[in-house]
Amino acid sequence: MTTPATHGATAAGPADSPTGGPARGPAGASLLVRAATGRPGPYPPVWFMRQAGRSLPEYRALREGSSMLDACRTPDLITEITLQPVRRHGVDAAIFFSDIVVPLVATGVGVDIVPGVGPVVDEPIRDRAAVERLRPLTPDDVPYITEAVRTLTRELGSTPLIGFAGAPFTLASYLVEGGPSRDHARTKALMHDDPSLWHALLERIGGIARTYLAVQIDAGASAVQLFDSWAGALSLADYTEFVLPHSRAVLEPLAGSVPRIHFGVGTGELLVAMRGAGADVVGVDWRVSLDEAARRLGPGAIVQGNLDPALLSASWPVVERAVRRVVAQGRAADGHIFNLGHGVPPDTDPEVLTRIVELVHSLA
């Protein structure tokens, strides 16, 4: 799931590096990297989760006749789809176009992305033998990712590219449930019935996610985001015991490279724990205001979010008031990246997103 504009990334000296690792050239001085490292610019950088995709007519035209997984493994398609919203909206960052199951498929897991449903797993994981069949991901498994990221960073220039991966819990939920789930009942049952098997599963998935992020960073991504879409289904106690160590094992080894963003839906009660997983930036959905999120996170908090995606269908005066409120609340944090509280709905009028970008850029 990628997105771009026209500002990219190259190598630079360590003096420019915000996290102590290699700087990312022009993109290292971008509004996104500055905000993500507590050095905000005159206004919050703006990008939108799912900014590339079904809300854009040019995306629908380009994708006609190709499956989602095929598109996610074709460098030319990845590049063009990632760049589309950057050209159209003038966003301050591109998010890599892909899907969270791509690295699983690359290791041999049978998964199909069914239109209108989501990822569907051929053989759900329910026992130790199935866990042991999961093999590590290597960079050679995803050469199309390396090629696409390198091309994008050249095309984007000073606009940063955000790489991403699915978090261990969310990926495990798909693998155990066999597809999307409302209550994650099988996942939670396995978690509690056989903690040893659960931790073995998440350790393997975490290794795959970590390698997938590292591949994108090595190819030139300026930041990465770990999506834990379903973590909000957990209590804080369960998250801390069964999930946090594995998310930390993904994010902590990447310290000193690029800013790390961690996002989940319905995770207001988990924000502090998610920051403890190694996040430089904590994504916040629309259920918790950004000033309250900053209070919960404490000194040094950097937040991302959090306009309610449903408001994109409202009248412009409603959208404008909400955008101004989010920007004002974000000033309570040491850094703020403007985004939605989740992804762009497919029926969104693209013009609304363009107007939001222009509005945020005017709020210096």
Enumerate the β-bridge partners of residue 302. 335
Please say whether the beta carbons of 286 and 305 come within 8 A. Answer: yes
User: What token pair was written down for 337?
Assistant: 């990246």
Beta partners for residue 173, in sequence order: none
> Strand, helix or coil at 193?
helix
Per annotation, catalytic residue among 54, 186, 287, 355: 54
Q: Which alpha helices (H) appear in 157-235, and where do they start and end?
A: 168-177, 185-193, 195-219
In a domain, 58, yes or no: yes
Please state, in angstroms and rounded to a whole number, the distance separating the CA atoms of residues 170 and 300.
27
Residue 24 annotated among the catalytic residues of the structure: no
Rounded to 10 deg, the angle between the 168-177 and 195-219 helix axes is 120
Q: What does the pLDDT look like over 170-215, one tens digit per residue?
A: 999 999 999 999 999 999 999 999 999 999 999 999 999 999 999 9
Identify the domain containing residue 279 by its residue range: 14-362
Q: Is residue 7 part of a domain?
A: no
Provide the 3-class DSSP secondary structure of residue 73. Answer: coil
54 is catalytic: yes
Query: What's the pLDDT score for residue 307?
Result: 98
Q: Residue 31, exposed/middle/buried by CB under 10 A (0-12, 13-18, 19+)?
A: buried
Q: Which two tokens stand for residue 296?
A: 């919960």
Q: What is the dihedral of CA 309, 310, 311, 314, to 10 degrees?
A: 140
> What is the number of domains present in the chain?
1
Residue 4 inside a domain? The answer is no
pLDDT at position 16: 33
Residue 308 is a catalytic residue: no
First to last CA, the chain: 29
- Dig out the tokens for 239 from the structure: 């998250």
The answer to the question of residue 174 being in a domain is yes
The answer as to whether 198 is a domain residue is: yes
CA 108, 114, 118, 121 torsion-angle sign: negative
At residue 182, the 3 state secondary structure works out as coil
Instruction: Give the chain's length.
Output: 364
| 9 domain residue, yes or no | no
Question: Is 174 assigned a catalytic role?
Answer: yes
| Active-site pick, 59, 144, 174, 239 | 174
Measure the CA–CA gap between 126 and 304, rounded to whole angstroms. Answer: 35
% helix, strand, coil for the chain, step of 5: 50, 10, 40
Question: Of these residues, 24, 50, 88, 248, which one is catalytic?
Answer: 50
Instruction: Answer yes or no: is 6 within a domain.
Output: no
- Is the residue at 236 inside a domain? yes
- The pLDDT of residue 26 is 66
Looking at residue 311, its amino acid is L
| Closest-CA residue to 348 (of 309, 318, 317, 320) | 309
Single out the catalytic residue among 99, 228, 280, 285: 99
Pair type for strands 281-283 and 260-264: parallel
The low-confidence residues of the chain, meaning pLDDT below 50, are 1-23
- Cα 47 to Cα 120, 277, 322, distances in angstroms: 29, 23, 16
Point out the catalytic residue in the list 63, 186, 287, 296: 63
CATH number at residue 188: 3.20.20.210
CA distance 36 to 52: 22
